[in-house]
Chains A and B, each alone.
Chain A
Amino acid sequence: MKIPDWLAESSPCPCCSIGVGGKKNFIEKTLVEIAGMMERSIFSEKYASSKGFLQSIDPRVKLITILLLIVTTSFISKTEIILGIYALTLFFAYLSKVELFFFIKRVWLFIPIFSGIVAFPAMFNIMTPGEPLVTLMRFNSTIHIWVFQFTEISITKEGALGALLFISRVATSVSLIVLLTLTTRWADVMKSLRTLGVPQIFVLVLSMTYQYIFLLVRIVQEMHLAKKSRTIKNNMTRQGIKKEQNWVASRIGTVLMKSYKMSDEINSAMVSRGFHGEIKSHGTFRIKNIDRIWTGFSISLISAVIWLNYLV
């Protein structure tokens, strides 16, 4: 079937501010966030089910080795080594058929950009004194602000290197965990948590939570869509805001009541199917040769990294 031209056109509709570039109000913001979350989880499942390198590794082995790598990254003090691990995550993302642009965007869009804002002031001599690289401003006398005192504003070598170390550590850790979740089905990640000694009851709660998050998010999305479709103009006066806050609170209250009622019903459903507090998990994983090779590689990588960091 051919899509009519008027439907294919992407010109923004004049009645709502999405896509127009205007400031989104709280309803639209929530809707956009929910859409983003759904999109991310759909993409995760897509990559997890494609046939790449990391997808073929046993989830338990993958979980343990990647968590060990994250812990190791936390101990490393040399920026070059951390950047080396980062380059490896890109390489394995490529081998696992994850589009590199998507992978980089997914990693950098959230935490590292925020951390960049955190690390930015540390580049200057006020926070990190040292050898100046670029001097932006010079003062005739010493300036005292709160606990700081300085005679010039400049970016220092130590500051810039420190900020780079900080950001690369954050980005590498996020890359490692994104790599794990992109290449592993969440149900398998959950099951693998058992091998780390996480109690069965926690694993069951975790996997049930993950399922019901999507149900609740769907309810929240519908509430907001319904509200948006009935809103003509936003009333952003003091009174209007109070009314909107009341609306948000009443919806949160409704979701709370719904989830409580649902937990009762789920409990009855579980008990009527024979649940009595004990859980048996089905489906077994089998260790293959590729898992042994990956384990060997990870252990040698971690040892090499520790050796380079502490002994060289």
Chain B
Amino acid sequence: MHIPDGYLGPITWGALWLVMIPIWIIASRKLKKDLKTKNVPLLAMGAAFSFVIMMFNVPVLGGSTGHAVGGTLIAIVLGPWAALVAVSVALIIQALFFGDGGITAIAANSFNIGFVLPFIGYYIYRLISANADITSTRHWIGAGIASYIAINVAAILTGIEFGIQPILYPAVDGKFQYFMYPLSVSVPAMAFEHLLVFGFVEAIVTLMVVRYLQQTDASLLRLTERTISQDKIPAGVSV
């Protein structure tokens, strides 16, 4: 799902840079306020984790394997703004050092995988698990549903970005400049494989990890709540 260079024309990747730069600025302001000096190591470890989670191959029926993206999981633990920065950093490192995902497409990839995916995943999870006890089944069920929906929305969005290329850059002398298939091909192709395969891998991993955290270290599922509640503590009260 990492878009390489050459798939999107300048209008699309340029527009997504213009969208992402203010979002990154808002994110860094928000995190500076919430996390103070702690943000640097926390974000670095979050980014390293989001890089490493993609290295885990998950066995699926039929002997094949798939891997999760983990955007929803990181958002559940660190909150959506920290997830945005962590995933973006991981994407930049992948693009720069491992040739995975394009340079011009860094903003496009960050928009789909770093912004849309964690935010949708996080809010659906919070909606389903609202007011539930930390040991409640609603947490992992919510995590599974949220991650499934989030990765599919991100995939369809990628399909749309691909599919508008032939509209923005019609064929010159019969040949297309960038991604060449219309929306009627690109969106179903992206949706199909994610609805049937990768969406389930993502959901299984997210759900099982949340369950594992519930059993071993449930405080990790409470981090975002804690930062919110700490703000409400009146000045002068020591914690």
Contact = CB atoms under 8 A, between A and B. Distances in A.
Interface of A: 23, 25-27, 29-30, 33-34, 37, 40-41, 44, 67, 70-71, 73-75, 77, 106-107, 110-111, 114-115, 119, 121-122, 127-130, 146-147, 156-159, 161-162, 165-166, 169-170, 173-174, 177-178, 180-181, 186, 189, 199, 201-202, 204-206, 208-210, 212-213, 215-217, 220, 236, 238, 241, 244-246, 248-253, 255-257, 259-260, 262-264, 266-267, 270-271, 275-277
Contact of B96 (A119, A181, A270, A275): A181
Contacts of A180: 96
Interface of B: 4-7, 9-10, 13, 24, 28, 32, 36-49, 51-53, 55-61, 63, 65, 68, 70, 73, 77, 85, 89-90, 92-93, 95-100, 102-104, 171-182, 184-185, 204-205, 208-209, 211-213, 216-217, 220
A77 B70 CA distance: 37
Contacts of B173: 158
B23 to A, nearest CB: 13
28 contacts: A26-B65, A29-B65, A33-B55, A37-B98, A40-B98, A110-B99, A111-B99, A115-B4, A128-B175, A162-B176, A166-B178, A166-B179, A173-B6, A180-B96, A201-B28, A205-B43, A205-B47, A205-B85, A209-B51, A220-B56, A245-B58, A248-B208, A253-B212, A255-B53, A256-B213, A260-B42, A263-B42, A264-B41
Given A74-B104, A267-B37, A259 B45 contact: yes
Given A263-B45, A266-B45, A256 B56 contact: no
Contact of B90 (A208, A209, A276): A209
B98 A30 contact: no
A213 B52 contact: yes
Contacts of A216: 48-49, 51-52
B41 A270 contact: yes
B45 A75 contact: no
A279 to B, nearest CB: 8
B171 to A, nearest CB: 7
B5 A127 contact: no
B70 to A, nearest CB: 8
B49 A256 contact: yes
A180 to B, nearest CB: 8
A34 B89 contact: no
Counting chain A CB atoms within 10 Å of each CB, the highest count among B9, B40, B63 belongs to B40
Contacts of A220: 52, 55-56
Contacts of A111: 4, 99-100
B197 to A, nearest CB: 14
Nearest to B97: A181
B44 A209 contact: yes
B72 to A, nearest CB: 13
Given A248-B205, A260-B220, A71 B104 contact: yes
A212 B48 contact: yes
Nearest to A257: B217
B99 A177 contact: yes
B48 A178 contact: no
Contacts of A271: 37
Given A174-B4, A266-B41, A252 B97 contact: no
Contacts of A70: 5, 103-104
A267 B42 contact: yes
Contacts of A264: 41
A250 to B, nearest CB: 5
Contacts of B220: 256-257, 260
Nearest to A111: B4
A77 B172 CA distance: 9
B87 to A, nearest CB: 11
Given A209-B90, A263-B38, 10 more contacts: A75-B10, A115-B6, A186-B97, A205-B89, A206-B92, A210-B97, A216-B48, A236-B59, A253-B213, A255-B52
